[in-house]
Chains A and B, each alone.
Chain A
């Protein structure tokens, strides 16, 4: 497991920006759960890609008896849809149940909302920080959304660049070296 910017769960919990590279089965989910449990009194947004992932994260947090008020676990898609539909004029998106072809617009729509002054205020009022699991599966629109979150909140991403398998219909998968390393961690160093 390669931890860039941090050495363990305690430091990950407090890092303003960090990313973790580890192959499947190395305990990334467990690392997130222990980092969230590390600092009580906060509320962390934990994002992943699949409902299975959400279930796994919730189970880990539950096992550690982390209070439900300390986290919100969601798929990136669910989070983006919730934000985009709350402010349809700002996001330009108002389809409550998008079809497969319409999903591509959701992330840019949510990014538009969260880039505004009020969007940032909502993020600050809602969460102390963000974790994104399975980052290698992020398409570039999702990556842009995470960068917007990172402007306001401490953001830690975890993934395995070698696992990047999902790539729907011409959507570009995030390029780990170019996008994650340079954007997320460089911002952190600044």
Chain B
């Protein structure tokens, strides 16, 4: 089965959503409260086989039930049984090769459009609808049960917990004797189950083991047994155990993988699997393995393999996914938009996965800028009542020199509020009009210079000397540093002017001044040396050091350097 279209009106945080999922593997990403989980819940409720589903005012947009809410979804690759003329066979719609939905199936692939309406009486009505029958025909729980859609996430935990406060428990705890008797009875019962002939259950256990192993659940799940979960304080149930220990005591990731494996097992015929937070409790290698296995299961070569729709906050997951498997969810003023990442952005996803998980993206031309922004984050956080860039959801992303403009445009097109912090020398020539049209704010230094040159011009003399000392502390020998600085064109000219040899400039910037250089000549040659082959500050950690010096500098604030960084700060904390 495959979800082809979903529309939502006034359900929880979504006032309006109109979405056609792109493929069989759909990873929903987006900042907190972008309504990713609400989308999964909407799909789950639309096809839940449960009869009694209770709703509350909190399920309506802005907790206002007066207009009701509506979830409508079109599903194709239907199980054969549902196509019968006494089920939904005469209520079908169709999906063509391009995924366009037609009201009648004809020679297209059959699909059904289902609707869940809940009005202010909180009574749910499920129906199957079409343009020829807009009011729909009531859909029974039996029909819904035929559609294999499972929602993994919240129910996993429930599967592994014990109920409390039952009548039996209250009785048992009322006297010690009863408690002991209950415990003894449990032990006896447990032994009885352990030695019982399990018949068909053994086959189920073997399947569960295989499913868990396939997803990489680990050795804990290799020797599963059926045992009575005995807990004198709670209810008991037949549950999965490994080496006499209930599986509910296994790690979070393992438990979720087993649950996921069981869901896949139970719906072999192309289920739509909805998983919240796919990476929950898993190490990077298990996340990668899970995604690869899932893709194989749902997007295999044969048609009708199914679909996996899940949320993720994991950069590792993004690295493993194909670009077009990633969909960005954004909600503003109740309108939720889901945009899938174009496949030509694959390299960018692998290069800056974290930025895709951001609320706002600050595309920085190079690593120095990223470092500087990180250092300034500490200062800005203090100035904004403890709100950090992480709190604001701002992630500095590497622009990668000449790619900077393209990356910023891509983020803006996907709906991320985006800004650019870039040098104004040759490497990045922004298409100002295009960027402005997309609302991208571009911050660049005055006078065609890179950040090293800007810093060398605008920082105090003490700060410039501090930068030199930072490099010494990083392990450069002072005479080496001066040697490299002396080789720059500005230095060579200064040497000629002063009439001093390149080898007799001393061991520090101050020594160079003593040798007859002007401070400006030293600043410029230091900047030229920094941005040259030596690339002293073109690393995130050195950029951070540079940022710390900028933050502590008493005069930078009044110069271009400080003014432009203040622009960045304003953008980060605006909106």
Contacts and interface: CB of A to CB of B under 8 A. Distances in A.
B81 A125 contact: yes
A111 B258 CA distance: 49
B105 interface: yes
A34 to B, nearest CB: 24
Contacts of A117: 105-109
B105 A118 contact: yes
A176 interface: no
A86 B90 contact: yes
B107 A126 contact: no
Contacts of B91: 86
A122 B84 contact: yes
Contact of A121 (B83, B87, B103, B104): B83
B107 A122 contact: no
Contacts of A125: 80-85, 87, 89
Nearest to A72: B86
A122 B132 contact: no
Nearest to B79: A125
B84 A121 contact: no
Please classify the interface of chain B as helix (H, G, I), strand (E, B), loop, or mixed, using the class held by over half of its residues. Answer: loop
A43 B81 CA distance: 12
Interface stretch (A12-20, A49-57, A87-95): A87-95
Contacts of B84: 43, 122, 125-126
Given A82-B90, A83-B90, A118-B92, A126 B85 contact: yes
Interface string A59-99: 00000000000001000000000110011111000000000
B83 to A, nearest CB: 4
B104 A90 contact: yes
Contacts of B86: 72, 126
B103 A118 contact: no
B94 to A, nearest CB: 6
A125 B94 CA distance: 16
A89 B81 CA distance: 24
A85 B38 CA distance: 38
Interface in B73-126: 80-87, 89-92, 94, 103-110
Report, as a range, how many residues of chain B touch the other chain. Answer: 20 to 34
B81 A118 contact: no
A22 B85 CA distance: 31
Contacts of A90: 104-106
Contact of A118 (B80, B82, B106, B132): B106
Contacts, number: 62
A75 to B, nearest CB: 15
A116 B105 contact: yes
Contact of B107 (A88, A89, A118): A118
A88 B108 CA distance: 15
Nearest to A89: B104
B108 A118 contact: yes
Contacts of B108: 117-118
Contacts of B107: 116-118
A87 B80 contact: no
A71 to B, nearest CB: 12
A126 B104 contact: no
Nearest to B81: A125
B106 A88 contact: no
A89 B105 CA distance: 10
B106 A124 contact: no
A43 B86 CA distance: 11
Contact of A124 (B80, B90, B105): B80
Interface in A112-146: 116-118, 121-122, 124-126
Nearest to A82: B90
A126 B87 CA distance: 9
B364 to A, nearest CB: 53
Contacts of B87: 125
Contacts of A87: 90, 104-106
Contacts of B109: 117-118
A25 B85 CA distance: 33
Nearest to A69: B86
A73 to B, nearest CB: 13
A116 B85 CA distance: 15
B92 A122 contact: yes
Contact of A126 (B89, B94, B103, B132): B89
B83 A126 contact: yes
Contact of B110 (A82, A86, A88, A121): A121
Given A82-B90, A83-B90, A86-B90, A122 B103 contact: no
Contacts of B90: 82-83, 86-87, 122
Contacts of A89: 103-104, 106, 132
Nearest to A117: B107
Contacts of B92: 118, 122
Contacts of A116: 105-107
A118 B110 contact: yes
Contacts of A72: 86
A118 B94 CA distance: 8
A88 B103 CA distance: 10
Contacts of B85: 82-83, 122, 125-126
Contacts of B80: 121, 124-125
Interface in B336-392: none
Contacts of A122: 83-85, 89-90, 92, 110
Contact of B132 (A83, A88, A121, A124): A88
Contacts of A121: 80, 83, 110
Among B84, B85, B109: residue with most chain A CB under 10 A? B85
A25 B83 CA distance: 38
A86 B110 CA distance: 14
Nearest to B92: A118
A89 B106 CA distance: 9
Contacts of B89: 122, 125-126
A117 B109 CA distance: 8
A43 B108 CA distance: 26
A72 B105 CA distance: 24
A122 B85 CA distance: 6
20 contacts: A82-B85, A83-B85, A83-B90, A87-B90, A89-B104, A89-B106, A90-B105, A116-B106, A117-B105, A117-B106, A117-B107, A118-B94, A118-B108, A118-B110, A122-B89, A125-B80, A125-B82, A125-B89, A126-B83, A126-B85
- A-B pairs, top 10 by smallest CB distance, nearest first, are A118-B105, A125-B83, A86-B90, A122-B89, A126-B84, A126-B85, A117-B107, A125-B84, A87-B104, A116-B106
Given A87-B104, A118-B108, A118-B110, 17 more contacts: A82-B90, A83-B85, A87-B106, A89-B103, A89-B132, A116-B107, A117-B108, A117-B109, A118-B105, A121-B110, A122-B90, A122-B92, A122-B110, A125-B84, A125-B87, A126-B83, A126-B89
Interface of A: 43, 72, 82-83, 86-90, 116-118, 121-122, 124-126
